[in-house]
Amino acid sequence: MTYSLRPETDSDTPFVRQILIAHMAQGLGAADWPEPLRDQLLGMQYSARRRSIAANYPTGLSQIIVVDGANVGWLVVAELPTEVRLVEIMVDSAIRGRGVGNAVIRDILTHASQTGKPVRLSVDGSNAGARALYERLGFRHTGGDGIQDYMEV
């Protein structure tokens, strides 16, 4: 899969909001919630998530994943002194399963290997598809808090 990355700009906010809210809605089973409630609660979750990323990973690089000229995903990676932190990776459900996430993560692993740093992430414990992808790429479970699983390679 051929992809490119470009820095997120202010004009990407609607795309990132859409992909993040769709991901959260799926994880929360929000498809059947009344629309006004769903929009309000997921909007608050979106804002909280963006604030948390900015506060916890101020040096994180937020990028848009592009395939064939179309925005298909969102990536946040933080290069820290002792690790490379895969903060967020989300691929639009319409293209998921075609190897985009796999290719992006493999490139992150290659970069980290060249710097001698581990790659660490946390993943929703109920997201079996993401956990399976990470395990296929060599990540191993290192702990968790009952909600998030911590993994590294």
Structural domain 4-152, CATH architecture: 3-Layer(aba) Sandwich (3.40)
Residue 64 is predicted with a pLDDT of: 98
Q: What is the pLDDT of residues 26-78, one digit of tens each?
A: 777 777 788 888 888 888 989 999 999 999 999 999 999 999 999 999 999 99
Q: What is the pTM of this model?
A: 0.91
Q: What is the pLDDT of residues 96-152, one digit of tens each?
A: 889 999 999 999 999 999 999 999 999 998 888 899 999 999 999 999 998 999 999
Domain-wise residue ranges, the chain: 4-152
- Looking at per-residue pLDDT, the higher value among 93 and 15 belongs to 15
Residue 81 is predicted with a pLDDT of: 96
Taking the CA atoms of residue 44, residue 128, residue 56 and residue 22 in that order, the dihedral angle to the nearest 10 degrees is -30
Crossing angle of helices 13-28/35-56, nearest 10°?
110
Residue 140 is predicted with a pLDDT of: 97
